[in-house]
Amino acid sequence: MLPWNYGFHWNAGTLVFMGAFYIVLAIVAATVIGAIERSRRALEAGKLEKIRWHSDFQDMAAGDRVCRHVLTGEFLDRKCPHDFDCRQCETHPKLIALHPVRQPAEAEDEICGMWFPLDRFYHRGHTWARPEANGTMTVGLDELASRLMGAPDSVELPQPGTRLRVNGTAFRMRKRGVDVRLLSPVDGQVVETGGADRGWYLKVKPVGRGFDVRHLLRGSEIRCWLMREMERLQLALAAEGARAPSLADGGVPMADIGAQYPEADWDAVCGKMLLEP
């Protein structure tokens, strides 16, 4: 084992065998120590939320990871390679240049009986960000998520001064024992907190050069996205044991959808719809 051990010989057999053994041990140890060191640095650099989202994103079903340009019919099939952060994407600006997003004349769009104001940007995790005149962004929950959750039992909002990151945790909600996190649509610093009764949850000021919202959905994209979200909701309900009607049956989603399907695994439905697998 070691030169001072009984029976150790400085010969080729010993050197090759023990050399290989020590190299293997060193590689395994270096891998583990390397991972620990990288973890420490990542935590210090505040990458926790980015890693959490990346990890969640990889866990999501392939059908939930499709590119926004699939929703609009520009691609037949494409998985988002950037964890829904179109700011990193080279294809997105090219497609936007080819097919600019149309801003409808109406102030809001009615989709399956739900109203979606068009003065704001929508995140795929059902939060929205509305630019305010004072340069801040108001962050809230869209109509579908509001109907999904109903009146929450509790909301855990970040303290003013908290730094939010795109796709990181914006706030958490609890309903019927299900704890779910809502994704932040923008980078910024929380300046004020609201609540379900005020119609918004957070006011956020930009950090640095202002808000970059290229990754958020807007205008004519919203309808395409929500039609698909309704299909996803039906699938999620069906998979979790609810006897949900199909879109073809007509009707509109009721407030507090969960209360209408007590037999469904609500934890799984919320996780799927709000992108927390």
Q: Which stretch binds other proteins (CB under 8 A): 2-10, 78-86, 193-201, 221-229?
A: 2-10
Determine the Cα–Cα distance for residues 47 and 31; give it in Å rounded to an integer: 20
Residue 72 near residue 99 (C-beta atoms within 8 A): yes
Rounded to a whole number of angstroms, the minimum distance from the CB of residue 97 to other proteins is 32
Residue from the set 66, 95, 224, 268 that interacts with other proteins by CB under 8 A: 268
User: Tokens 């029976």 belong to which residue?
Assistant: 7
- Is 226:111 a contact under the CB 8 Å cutoff? yes
The SS3 call for residue 137 is strand
Measured from the CB atom, the residue of 238 and 254 that comes closer to other proteins is 238
- Which of 164, 272, 273, 275 binds other proteins (CB under 8 A)? It is 272
Instruction: State which residue, 66 or 235, has the beta carbon closest to other proteins.
Output: 235
Shortest Å, Cβ 106 to other proteins: 31
Instruction: Between 194 and 277, name the residue whose CB sits nearer to other proteins.
Output: 277
Write down the least CB distance from residue 178 to other proteins, Å: 9
Kindly tell me which of 52 and 87 has the beta carbon lying closer to other proteins: 52
Helices (H), the chain: 12-44, 48-59, 68-71, 91-98, 143-149, 221-239, 257-260, 266-273
Cα gap 182→218, rounded to integer Å = 19
Q: Which residues 6+ apart lie within 8 Å of 201 measured at CB?
A: 139, 140, 141, 155, 157, 170, 171, 182, 193, 194, 195
What tokens were used for 224? 């395409």
Binding to other proteins, residues 34-93 (CB under 8 A): 34-36, 38-39, 42-43, 47-48, 51-52, 54-55, 59, 61-63
CB of residue 275 vs other proteins: minimum separation in angstroms? 11
* Choice from 4, 6, 77, 161 touching other proteins (CB under 8 A): 6
CA distance 80 to 67: 5
* 25 lines the binding site for other proteins (CB under 8 A): yes
CA 72 to chain centre: 20
Residue 183's Cβ-count burial label (10 Å; 0-12, 13-18, 19+) is buried
Least distance (Å) between residue 263 CB and other proteins = 13
The CB-of-115 to other proteins minimum distance in angstroms stands at 26
Tokens 């969640």 found at: 56
Distance CA 75, CA 196 (A): 36
Among 105, 249, 251, 262, binds other proteins (CB under 8 A): 249
Q: Pick from 17, 151, 153, 263: which binds other proteins (CB under 8 A)?
A: 17
Shortest distance, CB of residue 237 to other proteins, whole angstroms?
Answer: 9
Residue ranges in contact with other proteins by CB under 8 A:
1, 5-7, 13-14, 17-18, 21, 24-25, 27-28, 31-32, 34-36, 38-39, 42-43, 47-48, 51-52, 54-55, 59, 61-63, 234-236, 238-240, 244, 246, 248-249, 265, 267-268, 271-272, 276-277
